[in-house]
Structure 1
Amino acid sequence: MKNFFLYVFYRVAKIYEDWGEQYVYIRGSVVAFTTIGLIALSIITFVLFFFFDKELNKDIIWGVLIVVAILSFTLKEKKFKELREKYKNETHKKLKGWLVFLYIIGTLFLYIVSLYVCRHP
């Protein structure tokens, strides 16, 4: 799972690098950790709704947001350079890029669906 997460970080940062942006490692880590945060919020939403009959409240959202923000500073430029060297000669780059894109969109979709399904009437 760690390798997958680092690959998502690398691919997102690489896209920003290809666009000529600065501080690509920050942008990559924010997107990668946001996907983890959205998955965590989706799981928390389902657990609260189905086991405790409660809604997701703002305190939980803020807690996850703060944890994600703190964790996003753990990935540094050095790690991006290591990953760039590791994946320099990878095969099927385009397919893997689309899979990372679908993963990011899928986590957002999962969160939206979890909010829709678990809302109280």
Structure 2
Amino acid sequence: MQISVGIRPLATQVERIAATGLRKRDVLQAAWRKAAAGYVVGDAYVEPRAVERGGGRENLFDSTLTVDAGALDGLARVHDPLGVKGAWWLIRGQIEPAFWEAVDDVLAQIAKRT
């Protein structure tokens, strides 16, 4: 099942991304590919971390993610019994940390090349 994703880097990562001189979208896309590649929906809902994310539309990376529909349905039955939340709401707390780690990894790769 494909779901829509709207994810932001951490506020502290935004300046580091800009300092690379590369297009922000390219850096975020590289990080997203890395984070999404091995992602599997966990069976427990994880509350999104209370951290400062990069604000503004310019820091929002929109993409899609393929997830197991059965696993997502299991999360929804327990944590969204009225069916009013989106799929992204259910998994955001699970995948955001992996994305932020991937952003740091991509930035480290870029730094090694310069």
Larger Cα-atom Rg? 1
Q: Which has the higher strand share?
A: 2
Same fold (TM over 0.5): no
The structure, 1 or 2, with the larger RCO (C-alpha pairs under 8 Å, 6+ apart) is 2
TM-score (ref. length: structure 2): 0.33
